[in-house]
Amino acid sequence: MQLDESRTKLSAPQAAEANRAYNATLNEFLDPQNIRPNVVGLGVGMKWRNGEPTGEPALLALVSHKMPREELTEADLVPRNLAGMQTDVVEIGYPMAGNNAMTQQFPTAAHRAELTQPNGTVGYRLDEARETLEVDIQELARRRRPAQGGWSVGHPLITAGTIATCVYDLNAGGIPRRYYILSNNHVLANSNNASIGDHILQPGPYDGGVDPTDHIGYLSRFVPITFEPSVPRERHRNLVDAAIAEGQFHDLNREIYWIGYVRGWRPKQNIGVGDIVYKTGRTTNFTRGRIIATNATVDVNYGGGRVARFREQIITTNMSAGGDSGSLVVTFDENTNVPVAVGLLFAGSSSVTIINYIQHVRSLLGVEIAERVL
């Protein structure tokens, strides 16, 4: 279907109006006492009618699946208006970090002990994973030196994710600067369960990476993720799923496969509904998507009964699959046509992809993506 491009984007005043309504109603709408069936989040987006964009701003009620109206009570229905702004209901499935089991962690230490083989090796279930996951081994799943954005990477106790790009300290802090691989917490830090200094492998274990042969760096720092049930999700303040691993300068390359060198980064206020974005990832290679919601609050499943609520997220049409976690999402500057960093891909479903704003990743990890704001 050919969309009317003039109606796919919100103007700055429209976005500001929708964000005011969003801020006014968010806490009440997602209050556990008021939560409606299947609701997993709320975002700022555009109203669609009959499969066509209207060009009108709306608050998007994000639901795992839509239900027939006759199966819902009046109290269960999403109001037509929230804080004076029209609403729309968008089905996004069940968002998961890594989209599926591809980046779920391996067994705990106790479970690994149970799987230890007579020769002392540990059964990481890699053979089982390869048999049950229909994920093609692509070029980006192989070993690469120097490593660059888009290629497989991972902590020894996960399967595999993607290198976003290579970065350096936001503040010089000494000579020489330190150099890092950027990816997700759940890719490099095993969803908070790793220790600073742990070895990082390229490619990731699922793709044949072994320690020490494929050791490329050390876990340097990560932003901890708050999970339910340990903390009720209404108290979560998660902004990013992000981590960095320090490596040697000669082993790292800031280029992203099929995209090139990122020349700048885009602040949150300059990222809008309707923008076209791109990524290169370990599983689905180079893909394109359209932003359908900004400033979104959404609940993401990490497996094992753990759910994390993330605030201020970007949601796009589906442009990823399991193993793409950690990919850098970019747009191309309309004036110079150079790649500009927008966000860090970390989760999704069969219908959407969820992305951290690069502004938050950059500031919370203290790293530089590129030194120009575009």
CB 112 within 8 A of CB 372: no
- Tokens 């042969």 belong to 213
Query: In degrees rounded to 5, what are phi and psi of residue 295?
Result: 55, 30
Two tokens at 61? 């009620």
The CATH class, in words, for 94-374 is mainly beta
Of residues 254, 255, 228, 223, the one with CA closest to residue 240: 223
How high is the pLDDT of residue 125? 37
pLDDT at residue 273, rounded to an integer: 97
CB contact at 8 A, 280 and 326? no
Asked if 219 contacts 181 with a C-beta cutoff of 8 angstroms, the reply is: no
Instruction: State residue 70's pLDDT score.
Output: 85
With a CB cutoff of 8 Å and minimum separation 6, the contacts of 232 are 32
Beta-carbon contacts of 104 under 8 Å, excluding residues fewer than 6 positions away, are 98, 158, 159, 303
Whole-angstrom Cα distance, residue 236 to residue 257? 35
Separation in Å, CA 218 to CA 52, 151, 367: 48, 17, 16
At residue 13, what is the residue type?
P
CA distance to 170, 246, 345, 351, per residue, from 369 (Å):
8, 15, 15, 28
Query: Which tokens is 110 given?
Result: 């106790």
pLDDT value of position 106: 41
Q: What is the pLDDT of residue 3?
A: 66
pLDDT score for 131? 40
What is the C-alpha separation between 150 and 161, in angstroms, rounded?
A: 9
328: which 2 tokens? 């850098």
How many CB atoms sit inside 10 A of residue 317's CB?
Answer: 15
User: In tens digits, what is the pLDDT along the chain, a chain of 374 residues?
Assistant: 566 676 889 999 999 999 999 999 999 999 998 888 899 999 999 999 988 999 999 999 999 998 888 888 888 899 999 999 999 999 999 999 974 445 444 433 333 333 333 333 333 334 444 443 444 557 899 999 999 999 999 999 999 999 999 999 987 655 667 999 999 999 999 999 999 999 999 999 999 999 999 999 999 999 999 999 999 999 999 999 999 999 999 999 999 999 999 999 999 999 999 999 999 999 999 999 999 999 999 999 999 999 999 999 999 999 999 999 999 999 999 999 999 999 999 999 999 999 999 999 999 999 999 989 99
- Region label for 366, one of left (φ > 0), alpha (ψ between -120 and 50) or beta (otherwise): left
3-state SS of the chain is CCCCHHHCCCCHHHHHHHHHHHHHHHHHHCCCCCCCCCEEEEEEEEEEECCEEEEEEEEEEEECCCCCHHHCCHHHCCCCEECCEEEEEEECCCCEECCCHHHCCCCCHHHHHHHECCCCCECCCHHHHHHHCCCCCCHHHCCCCCEEECCEEECCCCCCEECCEEEEECCCCCCCCCEEEEECHHHHCCCCCCCCCCEEECCCHHHCCCCCCCEEEEEEEECCCCCECCCCHHHCCECCCCEEEEECHHHEEEEECCCEECCEECCHHHCCCCCEEEEEECCCEEEEEEEEEEEEEEEEEEECCEEEEEEEEEEEECCCCCCCCCCEEEEECCCCCCEEEEEEEEEECCCEEEEEEHHHHHHHHCEECCCCEC
- State the span(s) of the chain assigned CATH 2.40.10.10: 94-374
Nearest partner of 278 among 331, 237, 324, 314, judged by Cα: 331
